[in-house]
Structure 1
């Protein structure tokens, strides 16, 4: 994959390649408790892209998806890692997905809610991370249940418990980890959505830049880089998205 100098310039208006990193999705990014440094699949991809462009990488780290999206949409970062969503696509040019992640519902053990269909009824309140892919999706899909927005994806189960809500929604692995700290919780038996995680750059950078990023993602999938990163970081419950080549 050869990168034209004009494309490199489009990605690096400040002289560095600024990657927007969202710590709200533990499948893709986490923070080392000792060093405080971010690590994960998205960081590996960010470094590989910087290496491809032969430029210095700067990681701009956020605690929520919404803040990460805003940074790219407002040209405060040069690219990022997001769940594909039409609303986000107004300002961001997405690649094809590189990873597919499952979204699940969490309820109390004694809850009468047994199926996904039983969630969307009057009186049910669903906790979601503000600005997350689940928030955007469920805002469109839920017609009778109401949505309660937690400050971040990490705070969803805490909000669910503190406000005595009926349902929590989020990344399966995050919900499982949080549920493991509290007795009397269970996941429903099937996912309510599959989240397509892609890379994206501001549309203002032009078609050539968007095309180069899209080509990079396909290369990372077909070469086995993404699959290796998922194994290296011991990520379960997420899979490499199919190539679109």
Structure 2
């Protein structure tokens, strides 16, 4: 597919595709033993760079908040984030490509058995600062208190140290934490479905956004996203429906 050079410059004005990669969400990306980054978002970024005929320059961050800021400030051309209205003034989003679940984790001895019991006075919920579930729970919790860990992968560590009642995060991350700590369990169900989408800086043109959207839809329709999830052994995530 041929893309006009003027449109390519609108998407990636530096002449390379700078992709903000968040390794704090294991569904999207992670670091390999040699320090390189891998994952669904990396595969998509590489494919989009190839489509534009540009080299890929990953810009790697440990948290969603840092990754969002990089794109919002023009330090990266695209990023892979959860759709959230709180980010609408910083980013423009394409259609979702993956759906993942936000879950709650508690201690085995906790009296909490259902998600509906979490939002009670005196309950402390630990979340990753600036993450999609931080933004969502900040709006939705009325009685529980939110405490913020520096990054999503450190939520359960903070939860264990601080004595909070609940840890909240991406289900896959919390399931991984179950293998690191004894005496923990997940509450059944999920408190939110997180729509992961490609975001670009708010000042990018309508044409630039349309091209990113088309790329995402093509990758879903082609089966690229599904293959990437399988290749990286991501369970519990689903390809978002076609727009």
Normalising to structure 1: TM-score of the pair?
Answer: 0.98
**2 CA distance for matches of 1:241 and 1:109?**
33
**1 CA distance for matches of 2:41 and 2:12?**
19
**1 CA distance for matches of 2:151 and 2:212?**
28
Q: CA deviation at 1:89?
A: 1.5
Secondary structure in 1 aligned to 2:154? helix
Q: CA deviation at 1:15?
A: 1.8
Unaligned runs of 5+ in 1: none
**2 CA distance for matches of 1:169 and 1:111?**
15
Matching residue of 2:66: 67
RMSD of aligned Cα (Å): 0.8
**2 CA distance for matches of 1:128 and 1:7?**
38
1:80-126 superposed Cα distances (whole Å, 9 cap, x missing partner): 10000111121211011000000100001111111111000000000
Matching residue of 1:238: 237
Contact kept in structure 2, 1:104 and 1:188, CA below 8 Å:
yes
Matching residue of 1:171: 170
Matching residue of 2:145: 146
Secondary structure in 2 aligned to 1:45? helix
1:11-64 superposed Cα distances (whole Å, 9 cap, x missing partner): 22212110000011001100011x200000000000000000001110000000
Moved more, 140-149 or 175-184: 175-184
**1 CA distance for matches of 2:10 and 2:110?**
52
Whether 1:226 and 2:220 are equivalent positions in the alignment is no
Secondary structure in 2 aligned to 1:112? coil
Moved more, 196-205 or 219-228: 196-205
Secondary structure in 2 aligned to 1:61? strand
Q: CA deviation at 1:3?
A: 2.0
**1 CA distance for matches of 2:7 and 2:37?**
27
Matches within 5 A, 1:100-179: 100-179=99-178
Unaligned runs of 5+ in 2: none
Contact kept in structure 2, 1:203 and 1:210, CA below 8 Å:
no
Matching residue of 1:30: 30
Normalising to structure 2: TM-score of the pair?
Answer: 0.98
**2 CA distance for matches of 1:91 and 1:130?**
17
Whether 1:212 and 2:211 are equivalent positions in the alignment is yes
**1 CA distance for matches of 2:6 and 2:90?**
21
Whether 1:4 and 2:1 are equivalent positions in the alignment is no
Q: CA deviation at 1:208?
A: 0.4
Matching residue of 2:18: 18
**2 CA distance for matches of 1:236 and 1:2?**
35
Moved more, 42-51 or 171-180: 171-180
Matches within 5 A, 1:90-105: 90-105=89-104
Matching residue of 2:191: 192
Q: CA deviation at 1:178?
A: 0.6
- Return structure 1 stretches of 4+ with deviation > 6 angstroms: none
